[in-house]
Structure formats: C-alpha cells, structure tokens
Amino acid sequence: MPGLRPFGASGLRLSPLCLGGNVFGWTADEDTSFAVIDAYLAAGGNVIDTANIYSWWGRGNQGGESETIVGRWIAGRGGHDDVVVATKVGMAGGPDQPKGLTRDQIRRGAEESLARLGVERIDLFYAHEDDPETDLAETMTAFDELVREGLVGTVAASNYPADRLREALAVSERDGLVRFEGLQPAYNLLQRDQIEDGAGEVCREHGLGVACYSGLARGFLTGKYRPGGELPASPRSKGVAQDFFDDRGFAVLAAVDAVAEAHDATPAQVSLAWVMARPGITCAIASATSPEQVQELTGAMELTLGVDDMAALDAAGR
C-alpha cells in the first residue's frame, strides 16, 4: 500500500494519488461513482477531491451534484474517518454559485457543502480561485472563523498565482489567522506554468503541500489521442485536440510511450508517476469513470521512474 504524504503543516496525510470528483453526476452516475470510490479506497487511496460547483456543466445539472453523491456514499458507509474529503468555494458555476471569496460567500459555500456532504466538518477546504476584488484579509478572516468554529479542518488555495499566494500567507501571518496549507494547481507534462513560474517556489519556501489537478492533461496523456486517429467519444475531446494536438504534444506522448514500454506500464500511469515524483509535489489528482480505470490509475502509485526516465520526460515537455 502506498505511503501517505504530509500536506503542509496541516496534520493531514494524503495518498500520492487523489480521486477527482469532477465526473460524479456527469459522466459517472451515482452507482458508478460509488463503485469508483470503493475501488479507489481498496487500492490504498484516501482523498476524494470535489467542489461546490461540480458538476454543473452536465445536462440538467445545477452544481453540487458531486458533493451530493459523495455525501450519500459517506452516509451509506456510516462515516469517512479514514478518508479526507476536500471541497472548494469561490469559483462561478451554475445559477446559484457566483464567483467570489467574500466572507458571506465563503460562509454560505461552507454551509451548503456541509449539508450536501452530510458531515460536521470539511476536512480540506480550498479557495477555488483567487478573488482580486475582495481584500485578502476578509477572505482569510472568513476561513479563520470556519476553522475556529470546527466547521473546517484545513484551508488551502487553488489556482492562485505566486504573488497572490505569497500575499495571502503574509496577511495570515500579520493578522494571526489560519493560513493556506497548500496549493492546488494544474500541473502535468504539458501544463507546467502554474508551478514552475513561481508558485512552486512559494510553496517550498513556506512548506505548503501541492495537490496537482489535470495530471493527465484532460485525458491526452492517457494515450487515447493519436495523430490522425479518431477522437475519443468524450465531451472533452474537441477541446483536448485544440489544446494539445501539436508537435510538442505528440513529442511528449512519444516520450511517455517509450517509458511506459520500458516499465510494462500504461501512458496514464507514467504521466501520473512523473507528477508524483516531481520535487515538492504531495499528490496528483485524477478522475475515473469505472473501477477498471481506477485500477489502472492507482497503479501509478506503485510505479517508480528512474533518473533517466524523469529526465527524458522532462526534456520532452520543454
């Protein structure tokens, strides 16, 4: 079973692969979502990552569907003491979820997430994206109140640029407030700017955890996209092709294929293992729509890439 990793100074310990809940209520119905979560825990994982807006983009959805499914799963097993449940607030999505990190929006978001999840405390609560229109002191004070009231365990940031993350940490220190204990950026072999343009340095300086989403570049790095081939039957396919179908994208995929063949692994396992092995990274986040996919993805936690493997993959993505 994979070892757990500390997430900042929070006391939380996370598995190297976290389960993304963005597909729950969208491309995975409730029964499938339950099976996916069960398979993930059986493979040694311990983190479910969702958000108050997931999955508002699905047909007929309003937002909150993913949290509701996770909440029903928790109720069905009588608790989640062995599982870290992470959710988020502050990003626009659906008719009732406006963008913003004012005190009222954070408080309302937390209360609604608690109700959907059916829990007394959110283990890990992210600011989903920066809100430059709201004073950071107001934002961090709101998070501080929730932690002191016992409604939230740990707070962290998602999609914050380096300068705003550094400023938020300074505000917490100045005012004696809880601080962000981690960052959730997009990070994979093809999308590296959020970490490598300064935010990673801030995290290292302050001892923050880093939980990376989009470790598979929205599925491109699984190998199911090929030059000249038909696009997979996925609602994301056209966007993936637009963003990654170029010389750099296919060069990275070729490097991933070579490493995968050498290790008798899949491209998805290699791509996630690369993220997990990068300096300062706590975990990679990936979603699955079947227990079989879970089995494949969690295999990345057992894959050890050598120095030459890491160098080849790193070079291909430059």
**Residue 122 within a domain:** yes
Q: What is the mean pLDDT of the chain?
A: 94
**Residue 75 within a domain:** yes
**Residue 209 within a domain:** yes
**pLDDT tens, residue by residue, 147-172:** 999 999 999 999 999 999 999 999 99
**Residue 244 within a domain:** no
**Residue 203 within a domain:** yes
Task: Tell me which residue of 76, 184, 175 sits closest to 127, measured CA to CA.
Answer: 184
Residue 315 binned pLDDT confidence (cut-offs 50, 70, 90): very high
**Residue 312 within a domain:** no
**pLDDT tens, residue by residue, 194-209:** 898 899 999 999 999 9
What CATH code is carried by the domain that includes residue 158?
A: 3.20.20.100
pLDDT over threshold 60, residue 1 = no
Q: What is the mean pLDDT of residues 31-49?
A: 97
Q: How far apart are CA 179 and CA 144, in angstroms?
A: 8
pLDDT over threshold 90, residue 236 = no
More confident: 318 or 134 = 134
Residue 115 CB partners (closer than 8 Å, separation 6+): none
Counting residues of the chain whose pLDDT is more than 90, the rounded percentage is 85
Task: Tell me which residue of 174, 89, 197 sits closest to 134, measured CA to CA.
Answer: 89
pLDDT of residue 101: 98
**pLDDT tens, residue by residue, 253-281:** 999 999 999 999 999 999 999 999 999 99
**Residue 223 within a domain:** no
pLDDT of residue 205: 97
The CA dihedral of 75, 81, 82, 87, to the nearest 10 degrees, is 70
Domain count within the chain: 1
pLDDT of residue 252: 94
pLDDT over threshold 70, residue 22 = yes
pTM: predicted TM-score of the whole model, two decimal places: 0.95
Q: How far apart are CA 10 and CA 208, in angstroms?
A: 9
pLDDT of residue 2: 67
Cα-only R_g, the chain: 19
Which are the catalytic amino acids?
54
Full residue range of the structural domain in which residue 202 is found: 5-218+266-305
pLDDT over threshold 90, residue 94 = no
Q: How far apart are CA 146 and CA 106, in angstroms?
A: 9
pLDDT of residue 107: 98
**Residue 131 within a domain:** yes
4 within 8 A of 272, measured Cβ to Cβ: no
